[in-house]
Chain A
Amino acid sequence: GAGVSQSPRYKVAKRGQDVALRCDPISGHVSLFWYQQALGQGPEFLTYFQNEAQLDKSGLPSDRFFAERPEGSVSTLKIQRTQQEDSAVYLCASSSRVLETEAFFGQGTRLTVV
């Protein structure tokens, strides 16, 4: 596709359930980012991939959060044993180079933990 695609768009999970969120970046984009956006707040950085290498995971809030990009294209953000505070929009972004370029964002996955 032409843009960054995320699925599902909406996810309702029961507390304690595991979830997996998918991101299809723009084809050929080297860099991939995950952000978490709580209601009424700006996005906050979670993790960064350069191709298949996860170079920065400093923003992951706990060891329940795990991300992968095994073939340097599609990425999955997994949250284990979801809690109510995990409710947020999860945004994925990709860019064609490491620096000096803008990132293109997907529409996000809205996760609600009940």
Chain B
Amino acid sequence: AQKVTQAQTEISVVEKEDVTLDCVYETRDTTYYLFWYKQPPSGELVFLIRRNSFDEQNEISGRYSWNFQKSTSSFNFTITASQVVDSAVYFCALSGGSSNTGKLIFGQGTTLQVKP
């Protein structure tokens, strides 16, 4: 069975602090994809990143960076110098399997509050 765990329910930081959101996944598939989505108060899920299971290179995009480690089944997300606009719920998600249709298995989400 596939499962995604985001152990941090809520995180509160002060603006300009760095913050890391944890994501641990479970799957028996050898080919799979990992995602991060942001959900602001408007409700729409905004795509941030997609990684496939064969690419363990870490990625940086502006203030965002992602650390993918297959050895620990983790795909953590770091925001550097956080800003108030980063306040949202962040979801880690997984898709995969021999009959993969692209459907996503989401974690419970981490609510990030960035205070000015």
Q: What is the interface of chain A, defined by CB distance below 8 A to chain B?
A: 3, 31, 33, 35, 40-45, 48, 50, 55-56, 59, 89, 91, 93, 95, 98-108, 110
Contact A42 B107 (CB under 8 A): yes
Tell yes or no: B104 within 8 A of A by CB.
yes
Tell yes or no: B72 within 8 A of A by CB.
no
Q: In the bound complex, what is the Cα–Cα distance between A41 and B32 (angstroms)? A: 23
List 4 tightest A-B contacts by C-beta distance, closest first: A42-B106, A105-B45, A102-B47, A107-B44
Q: With CB as the reference atom, state the residue of chain B lying closest to A45.
A: B103
Q: In the bound complex, what is the Cα–Cα distance between A105 and B108 (angstroms)? A: 17
Q: What is the interface of chain B, defined by CB distance below 8 A to chain A?
A: 4, 33, 35, 37, 42-47, 50, 52, 91, 93, 100-109
With contacts A42-B91, A102-B50 taken as known, whether A31 is within 8 angstroms of B102 at the C-beta atoms is: yes
Nearest Cβ in chain B — how far from A11, in angstroms?
Answer: 14
Query: Contact partner of B43 among A44, A89, A104, CB < 8 A?
Result: A89
